[in-house]
Structure 1
């Protein structure tokens, strides 16, 4: 990491954002965009790139980036400077914010960014992101979850249905509510759905007991460095199981219940220890269902409903970590 100018003046942080191309995002709900707006307000130098531009030359990581400025204005939300080829160790912070799927390309990016560990703060920590697939990591807290099965085996799913009745089936590495199905105990489509999953997803699937109170909301709770930061209750649209806002769910403000505070307290130390600075957990009727560590959303929805500025909390934590590292 380069040092401040000899005059003693504090130089702006250099921040690179690894993301899906900024031209494709929906700024009304994109948490990466919220983090970029806050970074710009603080006078940081912002750079944008997409993951395929990373290049590892032995121990060195190079990338073609664009200086970027952002504006909270639909269809006019960014402008680029001239592209530059940079040594990524010159960056103070890299935000790893591209959306899943959590596939081999995603994993490869974590291996490349891991090379920056001695010079640059990568958020979230790429080793922990790689080792914490969201629908598997959560099973470390099985006592906080609804009954859950991870499998590809038909007989195991049949046994689970016999015990729990209505279930939810979803791909292990899915995201954004895609391919999430409720299967009732007498559902005649079950066999066809099993066949569809078999030819579509090679990895195991997540099978969970259906929670009827999902109709009242699936709460997204954000934690920053292991501490509760804000929450939003996502209510499914009429006729839909899924509460994800990209699937038509609506955002409602929400306070934490005693059970939800217990969940945050249980998860916080493990998240902090693993360098998972911005995490979104999903809770339905007091049941922890997912721990989202790749590119969790919710920052903008929380602030629009009168909640705290979670992006500012994130940057406060990162500034402190950088100061401690330099010290």
Structure 2
């Protein structure tokens, strides 16, 4: 096996959750398989005469909650020092995130394999991308106009509204026809009608869990994580207090995943989190999907290792 040099672009490593962080699992897999590993944040990417440079730090990782990483000295290196870049920056998908994706496209053009493909991440908003498969979704609209959303609520009676750029359940509200705060909620989310949001018919099966189905290298992982809302809560997101229960994929969930796989492969999206409630797609997460650690801990899988093995086996043909 050829030794590869990996760069992982992520949030501040000192602030990650040792018990749950998927990027850390990837870093362990890279290190334990003998590859080189460096780290940076998105503000460490910069251009010099059209060449992408990176203020990177060598990264060592350990399976010790009290000492799980060490960083070496910062050094400015050309992007071609790396074979693979893993883009693992969490949303929100703001302008700085967008600029980073544009910069990472310079890496792709220089022959470095960027996973997931930066231009596809740019093009595939995690809420909007799912609407390309609208026949597999609960009824959904995207608009900045209160009138359309009010009519949608009137038609369906029970609706979820959410921003297009959030994560972890932030900004998600459930509205019914008799909700007293429809106007103020929509004013806030649409920023007084200037920003489009998503409205979806509520799916009662959320009580059984918002299921995260991971797709690695075009193959659905055999287990998903059902994120079950806490009492009195609509959102199943773990960040919103949901409880994560791993379970085998149902036939329907596998079918949904396999339906979108050809599009994912075409777009260079090799590590994806499909969100499913009641057998219906709600989102397709392409930025920094999580839940690897919970599934591994409960089912004995090694999802991050499978991902790195996929890269090892395909870098010769998949790199730009």
Q: TM-score, normalised by structure 1?
A: 0.93
Paired with 2:10 and 2:236, the residues of 1 have a C-alpha distance of 24
Contact kept? 1:172, 1:203, Cα under 8 Å: no
CA distance in 2, matches of 1:320, 1:128: 22
Given that 2:146 and 2:193 are in contact with CA atoms closer than 8 Å, whether structure 1 keeps it comes out as no
Whole-Å separation in 1 of the counterparts to 2:124 and 2:193? 19
Matched, 1:56 2:47: yes
Q: Which residue of 1 aligns with 2:269?
A: 276
Instruction: Say whether 1:260 aligns with 2:247.
Output: no
User: Aligned partners of 2:243, 2:318: CA distance in 1, in Å?
Assistant: 41
In the other structure, the counterpart of 2:240 is 247
- Written as runs of structure 1 = structure 2, the 5 A alignment for 1:173-184 is 173-184=165-176
SS of 1:167's equivalent in the other structure is strand
Judging changes above 3 Å, is the alpha-carbon distance between structure 1 residues 200 and 85 closer, same or farther for their aligned structure 2 residues? farther
What's the counterpart of residue 140 of structure 2?
A: 148
Deviation for aligned residue 1:11: 5.5
Offset from partner CA, 1:196-236 (integer Å, 9 cap, x none): 22338843101011111201101000001221124111111
Q: Are residue 293 (structure 1) and residue 286 (structure 2) matched?
A: yes
Task: Report the equivalent of 1:220.
Answer: 212
Correspondence for 1:99: 90
2:185 corresponds to 1:189: no
Cross-structure match for 1:6: none
Unpaired segments ≥5 residues, structure 1: 1-9
Whole-Å Cα distance in 2 between the matches of residues 239 and 249 of structure 1? Answer: 11
Shift in Å, 1:63: 1.1
Matched, 1:315 2:305: no
Give 1:79's aligned residue: 70
**Structure 2: which 5+ runs fail to align?**
none
CA contact (8 A) 2:31 2:61 kept: yes
Q: What SS does the aligned partner of 1:135 have?
A: coil
Q: Is the 8 A contact 1:68 1:80 kept in 2?
A: yes
1:59 offset after TM fit, Å?
Answer: 2.8
**What is the distance in 2 between the residues matched to 1:11 and 1:92?**
11
8 Å contact kept, 2:159–2:176: yes
Q: Is the 8 A contact 1:125 1:276 kept in 2?
A: yes
Check if 1:114 corresponds to 2:105: yes
TM normalised by structure 2 equals 0.95
User: Which residue of the other structure, out of 119, 144, 155, is the alignment partner of 1:163?
Assistant: 155
Out of 50, 54, 57, the position equivalent to 1:66 is: 57
CA contact (8 A) 2:274 2:285 kept: yes
Residues of 2 paired with 1:325 and 1:316: CA distance? 13
**Matched positions, count:** 317
SS in 2 for 1:115: helix
Please give the alpha-carbon distance, in whole angstroms, between the structure 1 residues aligned to 2:282 and 2:167.
13
By how many angstroms is 1:307 displaced? 4.2
Q: Secondary structure at the match of 1:98?
A: coil
